[in-house]
Structure 1
Amino acid sequence: MTAPVLEKPAAPAPGVPEPAGPAGRPAVTPGRRWFLQAAWAVSLLAALVLGFVGFLFTLSDIQERHYQSTAHKTFRDQLARAVAPTGSAPDGEPVALLDIPAIGLHQAVVVEGTTGRDLMRGPGHRRDTALPGQSGVAVVFGRGATFGAPFAELSKLRVGDRIETTTGQGTASYTVNAYGDGDAPITDPAPDRLVLVTGDSDWIPGSTVMIGARLDGDPQQNPGGRPATVPYDKALAADKGALATLQLWSLGLLGAVVAALLLARYWRRSTAYLSLAPVVGAALWAVYENAAALLPNLY
């Protein structure tokens, strides 16, 4: 008996739908597959960008408040034990308390340094200037939009408004008397004064706003010996040193995501994702923080 001859299925006529794939789904053509992959990549990129914006205007404030709370306790303890710094200090260390009642700023901890990373912690003292209350000119930078935005309302200060500071040498009071900006800096012959600096916009700033205030009463002794500034200390400077760290954390984030996807093939998917979610979240936070350091330091 001869074996039956199997006929080859005829190609579908024009206008007839393609054969269905598994579970009745249409077969995915190469063009459709490329479109879906591109749409997924664009959606992921959009989610990362929106997440970064959310970090800048929401989570960064939480991070700054946490540091301010911890630093305030530390600095108060240093003041009580008379060991608060009166000269140069390590980057990011608390060096003063700042009160500006006219704009609602109370007991803000001023840290040493004005790089982008320093100003993530709060207002920053420019390392080559006097501390508030000392003889000479003290300069303090502050962000105007992100990481708590301590100087967001700085331009609302008026002549005669008071500024109070506290350092390891005691309290000092200043009276606002001058204004300036990046094109026309403050020129004041008074030897003992305070200059507050922030960006000129709550978007990406292109210049600076400066508020000058004269010291009321006699200054405290200035021990001198201030270190020189670095390029990242300047107003509106980006902390380009964060670029290498950003690249490393980006690789770490990619590795964590790949690990979660691979683990999901051998475990229950929900278990795999939940177990690595804290790792992915921590890596993503570090990526956003280092990306923020590449923005102007007064932003």
Structure 2
Amino acid sequence: MTAPALEKPPLPAQPSADPAPARTTAPASPEPAGRASSASPARRRFLQGAWAVSLLAVLITGFVGYLFTLSHVQERHYQSTAHKTFRDQLARAVAPTGAAADGDPVALLDIPAIGLHQAVVVEGTTGRDLMRGPGHRRDTALPGQAGVAVVFGRGASFGAPFAELSRLRVGDKIEATTGQGRFTYTVNVYGDGDHPISDPVRNRLVLVTGDSDWIPGSTVLVGARLDGDPETNPGGRPATVPYDKALAADKGALATLQLWMLGLLAAVVSATVLARVWHRSAAYLSLAPVVGALLWAVYENAAALLPNLY
């Protein structure tokens, strides 16, 4: 009997000789190391420069705002305080009639034609003195006294008391009040930096301001004669200093400005460091008044470097 033939098991399928290639995404070629390393520092330098320019623009804008807004508030505050002080001195008959300390009130000035009323005239004509109001040149007579009285006033910043001085016309009245009484002057002559006032009358008043409401390059002068008899001039006036001259800049403020700027920088750095270790909002709020006060001092000293009649 013949044994049945055994069936052979099927052979496993052989892989194809030409399999379809797998679809793969080619890796992006890496950026050259040199280009990446050079782009990052360049970007950092650009951002640092942009921040520096932005900060400088903010500071300059703030300074312009200070000159044309906040400086007027500052001058009005001083005028209000000085007016009360001088009125009290007049009432007690102790107002100065001779030499006085820098910044002390020495007279009241009224010029109705340009809308100036009860302006307190302070002693001195440096840039800092004229931040307080019109200034009496220390080596001249006081208004109402025998001789020539000279008063400077700003034309654009810090209240700009003499901004409209050029509108005065011959015949306009100027009234001054001092510890010796009330006096009236009549405008009669004009001049400028190139053509000083020439007037043979001995007892007169000369008002001086800048010739521009931008950065002045010369002066405007208005002369007025005293109506009536003058009061006694005690003399003994101190000599002027270089910063008393028309259009002079108070260069002594430069060192003070640098110190205030260092203080401002220290306050900003302190606020930045404190914000990292403390609550950010609380850090900024706590140091904001300090930064504001330091910034005000920086702007005030920077303004002293401008021409004193500005």
Q: Is TM-score (shorter-chain normalized) higher than 0.5? A: yes
User: CA separation in 2, counterparts of 1:41 and 1:239?
Assistant: 28
- Tell me the alpha carbon deviations over residues 34-64 of structure 1, each in whole angstroms, 9 at most, x when there is no partner: 1111101100000000000000000000000
Q: Where does residue 94 of structure 2 map in the other structure?
A: 83
Among 2, 10, 29, the residue aligned to 1:13: 29
Among 224, 228, 239, the residue aligned to 1:217: 228
Q: Secondary structure at the match of 2:138?
A: coil
User: CA separation in 2, counterparts of 1:220 and 1:72?
Assistant: 23
Q: Where does residue 133 of structure 1 map in the other structure?
A: 144
What letter matches 1:13 in structure 2?
S
Q: Where does residue 106 of structure 1 map in the other structure?
A: 117
User: CA separation in 1, counterparts of 2:27 and 2:204?
Assistant: 88
Among 167, 173, 176, the residue aligned to 1:156: 167
Among 270, 275, 282, the residue aligned to 1:264: 275
TM-score, normalised on structure 1?
A: 0.92
What letter matches 1:158 in structure 2?
R
In percent, how many aligned pairs have the same letter?
Answer: 84
User: CA separation in 2, counterparts of 1:294 and 1:11?
Assistant: 64
CA drift of 1:29 comes to: 2.0
Query: Unaligned stretches of 5+ in structure 2?
Result: 1-25, 33-38
What letter matches 1:110 in structure 2?
V
Among 45, 58, 66, the residue aligned to 1:34: 45
Query: Unaligned stretches of 5+ in structure 1?
Result: 1-9, 17-27
Q: Secondary structure at the match of 1:212?
A: strand
Moved over 4 A (4+): none
**1:1-299 to 2 correspondences below 5 Å:** 12-13=28-29, 29-299=40-310
User: CA separation in 2, counterparts of 1:241 and 1:33?
Assistant: 38
- Change in 2 beyond 3 A, CA 1:11/1:106: farther
What letter matches 2:145 in structure 1?
Q
CA drift of 1:32 comes to: 1.4
User: CA separation in 2, counterparts of 1:82 and 1:252?
Assistant: 44
CA drift of 1:220 comes to: 0.6
Q: Secondary structure at the match of 1:76?
A: helix
CA drift of 1:14 comes to: 6.5
What letter matches 2:153 in structure 1?
G
What letter matches 1:252 in structure 2?
G
Q: In terms of Rg, which structure is larger?
A: 2
User: CA separation in 2, counterparts of 1:158 and 1:34?
Assistant: 59
CA RMSD of aligned residues (A): 1.4
